[in-house]
Amino acid sequence: MRRTVGTYVVALLVLGNVLCPRLHASPRADSSLTVMKIVIVGNEITKDHVILREMSIKAGSPLNVAALEQDQKRIYSLQLFNKVDVDYTADGNEATVTVKVSERWYIFPFPIIGFKYHDIKNVYYGAGLIHQNFRGRNEKLMASGAFGFDPWYNLSYRNPKLTDDDDLFLQLQLGFTHMRNQNTSQGEYDQQILSGYASLGKRFGLFTTLTGLVGYDEWMVDDTQQGATLSPDGRDHYVVLSAGLLYDKRDIREYPLDGDFISLAATKYGLGESVIDLFRYHIDVRKYQPLGSDMSLGVRGFGNFLGGGRSPSYLHEYFGYFDRIRGCYSTVFEGEEQLGGSVELRLGVFKPRYLTVSLPGLPPEFSVWRYGLYAAFFADAGATWYRTESFSNVPWYSGYGAGLHFLLPYSFVLRTEYAFNQQGRGEFILGFHASF
């Protein structure tokens, strides 16, 4: 079975390269111009190094217009600015690059309302306080809580660059969740989860990040439910260790149209302090290839594989919650391991543009709005299975359809889609982020 799974993952990688060949060679200098200075305008709060860190063009390097366009998209993907403009002026053989930004509002109390697992029936609501650009260094500091479906409380802090002289980042998180079980075959019961994590990572260049994580999880069930926990007292607790490698060369992270994404991770649950003793391996590969000025093809393949001892249901993999197969959007598929893939063609009805508004009492950080509209055609497929099953007998589920994707201010994406499953039954889908 392992051999078959590995073959399938390799096939997904090859498929991405076949369907989306790299059409552009490495960028070259456009002229003999040399960048002598980079000037940043409009960043009243954000430190210069936060912006410069995202730029491949440096002072002293040859001028390259295509590279400047990619730098502009990476700066916007920080989600710190409503709008980013990058341009240059020339004086003889020397060029001055100007980066002009319009900052967003960074610190505010905010209402929380949403739909767990992207299901409109699972509404939750609450409030939080967030600073998205603490100290002007792109640090994230947040406290939040929600009621309704699966209530939770969370404290988190992320520092993407610990000091000016390194590329190390730190993230801390502490949370408590009262969550309904996901394995619907065992009926409904509530779980209480206490978790704490600390991760340290290093960024290499513009696109590659290596991360290590140490954490602690505790899962508790009030009324001992058969199979809910491995411990007979209804309380599983264990240490979590994880290592991950991320390569992210997407142009705009909220709705990519160009670039590559690879995520690899290995996680160990339990170090002998509890009955939990498991390894999980994760792979997620995505490729986005422009097929013209208003068209892009995206391909994704992903898998989750388990090793070690017995696994509780809360560490299983599912379709029907965070990962979904459009056409079987609300159907839950459960297993210890998982494979999936998607293909999506995105067509620009009108590409992202900006609207400048000036309303009385409205802070300037809300005066620039980015919006756009894309049509999409897609197909999804996936399977889950248990380690005791033969992979060759695992049923696969698939769906296909089309929809409209609305790109809204503050990096919000609204998807309205209609999909069909293998039997031809259709369903309407309302999504609140890009499909991948």
pLDDT tens, position by position, 327-346: 999 888 999 999 999 999 99
CA pair distance 400, 394, nearest whole angstrom: 20
Average pLDDT over residues 183-193: 74
Average pLDDT over residues 292-311: 95
Query: What pLDDT digit, counting tens, does each position of 248-280 carry?
Result: 999 999 999 999 999 999 999 999 888 999 999
161-431 domain in CATH 2.40.160.50?
yes
Looking at every residue in the chain, the average pLDDT score rounds to 87
pLDDT at site 24: 35
* 169 token code pair: 């980042």
pLDDT at site 42: 94
Mean pLDDT lowest for which of 48-62, 173-187, 361-375, 395-409? 173-187
CATH code given to domain 31-103? 3.10.20.310
Q: Where in the chain is the domain with CATH 2.40.160.50?
A: 161-431
pLDDT at site 180: 74
Q: Is the CB of residue 283 less than 8 Å from the CB of residue 263?
A: yes
Average pLDDT over residues 140-165: 87
Provide the pLDDT confidence category of residue 166 given band limits of 50, 70 and 90: confident
Provide the pLDDT confidence category of residue 2 given band limits of 50, 70 and 90: very low
Residue 125's alpha-carbon distances to 194, 266, 320, in angstroms, are: 20, 33, 21
Q: Where in the chain is the domain with CATH 3.10.20.310?
A: 31-103
